[in-house]
């Protein structure tokens, strides 16, 4: 068999088994998205003189949303088309390595797309991906998206970071965070042999990192905030009380449904599907919070209703918007002239843990209340404790 002029077939998207029926309450698109999709193409193997079939998925079948799944598989299919057209081989890895070293036309923009696709396939959370891309986009804006990755040295990295630190007044935290993201970006390119060396490896970090956000409230500021919320925003007041009494994270609270609350046993179970650490763990309902929840008459609502779904009725069949609690709290901070103190919704969680510690709770008890995986994680919430604790104990006599 003579080798074909073009050693591959054009990659195409295959959506698994053909859907023949749609259950009640579903759609064709949803049923189609449940199938195992793949990108299919054939490539000529010179050793066997046969066309071998390849069906890559890059772990994208974990996606169940029809639009998102179609979008990502289409991008994957296009990526294989571009790679094959550029001389990439799914069989000859040595040839691929030589090819990648020769690729001097890979731009920062194209590299960013590859980096994003890698994290999508890896299952990186959407918010984390957005955070990575935000910093990379700033780097691209500084040097231009068409600049080649092979043209970036440690000098370009240092110049960018120093400029942003000087002109954009980046703090040590932002500087170090950006350095880490750029390091991961170029490390990915080095591992995949698009560049010979990672230009970020030897770039210095900022050793002095001030605590910028989630500051613990002073007692005076806490009282001022709670007073304003009580007078102007009952929804936000209840939201922050939930954080204070339960230490449940803001995002988890937005997803919390009435079926997760057992008033009789005074327990809230945050399901693994909405928990940050993907573990389903119980949270005790304090006596004060119990009274607040009973006043809402939970039994008169559907189990599937969201506890914090509406700014008007509190409980709602719909989930509250992602930024609504944040925006309402920011309004409170501005009204009380406390918006320059780096207070956030998470400050209520920090404040609660400091109060627990001062009331005699052990670290192990605070760790359990926060559903932390280790005491080290708990200790980060108490890092500012020295600001509030005065030691009046006598030093043992020599």
Q: What is the DSSP string of 137-197?
A: HHHHHHH-TTSBGGG--HHHHHHHHHHHHHHS---HHHHHHHHHHHHHHHHHHHHTTSSSS
Q: Cα angle vertex 271, ends 124, 378, to 5°? A: 75
3-state secondary structure of 266: coil
The predicted structure's pLDDT at residue 245? 93
pLDDT of 87 > 80? The answer is: no
The predicted structure's pLDDT at residue 209? 44
- pLDDT band at 355; cut points 50, 70, 90: confident
44 - beta bridge partners?
Answer: 51
CA distance 90 to 55: 11
- pLDDT band at 327; cut points 50, 70, 90: very high
Give the tens place of pLDDT for each residue, 187-220. Answer: 988 888 788 889 998 787 765 444 456 688 888 9
The answer, as to whether pTM is greater than 0.85, is no
**Average pLDDT of the chain to the nearest whole number:** 85
Average pLDDT over residues 244-264: 92
CA distance 171 to 162: 11
For helices 234-246 and 324-335, angle between their N-to-C axes, nearest 10 degrees:
100
The predicted structure's pLDDT at residue 197? 85
Give the tens place of pLDDT for each residue, 157-179. Answer: 988 998 888 888 787 788 888 99
Average pLDDT over residues 87-111: 67
Q: How many of the other CB atoms lie within 10 Å of CB of 71? A: 14
Domains and CATH numbers, the chain: 1-102 (no CATH), 219-355 (1.10.443.10)
The predicted structure's pLDDT at residue 210? 46
């Amino acid at each position: 068999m003579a080798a074909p002029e073009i050693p591959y077939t054009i990659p195409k998207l295959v959506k698994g088994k053909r859907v023949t029926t749609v259950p009640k309450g579903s759609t064709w698109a949803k049923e189609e998205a449940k199938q195992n999709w793949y990108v299919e193409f054939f490539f000529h193997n010179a050793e066997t003189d046969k066309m071998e079939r390849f069906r890559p998925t890059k772990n994208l079948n974990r996606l169940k949303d029809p639009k998102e799944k179609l979008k990502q598989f289409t991008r994957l299919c296009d990526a294989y088309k571009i790679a094959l057209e550029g001389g990439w081989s799914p069989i000859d890895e040595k040839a691929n390595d030589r090819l990648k070293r020769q690729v001097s036309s890979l731009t920062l923009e194209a590299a960013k797309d590859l980096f994003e696709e890698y994290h999508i396939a890896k299952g990186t959370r959407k918010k984390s991906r957005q955070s990575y891309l935000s910093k990379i986009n700033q780097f691209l804006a500084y040097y231009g998206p068409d600049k080649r990755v092979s043209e970036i040295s440690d000098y370009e990295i240092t110049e960018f970071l120093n400029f942003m630190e000087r002109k954009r007044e980046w703090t040590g935290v932002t500087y170090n965070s950006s350095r880490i993201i750029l390091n991961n970006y170029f490390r990915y390119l080095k591992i995949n042999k698009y560049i010979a060396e990672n230009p970020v490896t030897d770039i210095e970090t900022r050793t002095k990192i001030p605590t910028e956000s989630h500051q613990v409230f002073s007692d005076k500021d806490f009282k001022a905030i709670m007073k304003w919320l009580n007078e102007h925003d009952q929804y936000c007041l209840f939201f922050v009380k939930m954080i204070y009494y339960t230490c449940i994270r803001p995002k988890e609270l937005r997803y919390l449904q009435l079926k997760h609350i057992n008033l009789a046993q005074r327990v809230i179970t945050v399901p693994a599907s909405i928990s940050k650490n993907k573990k389903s763990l119980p949270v005790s309902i304090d006596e004060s919070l119990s009274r607040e929840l009973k006043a809402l008459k939970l039994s008169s609502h559907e189990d599937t209703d969201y506890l914090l779904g509406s700014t008007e009725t509190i409980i709602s069949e719909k989930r509250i918007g992602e930024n609504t609690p944040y925006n309402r709290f920011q309004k409170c901070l501005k009204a009380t002239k406390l918006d320059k103190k780096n207070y956030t919704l998470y400050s209520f969680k920090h404040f609660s843990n400091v109060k627990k510690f001062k009331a005699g709770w052990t670290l192990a008890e605070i760790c359990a209340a926060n559903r932390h995986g280790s005491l080290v994680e708990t200790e980060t919430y108490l890092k500012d404790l020295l600001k509030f604790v005065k030691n009046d104990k006598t030093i043992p006599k020599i």
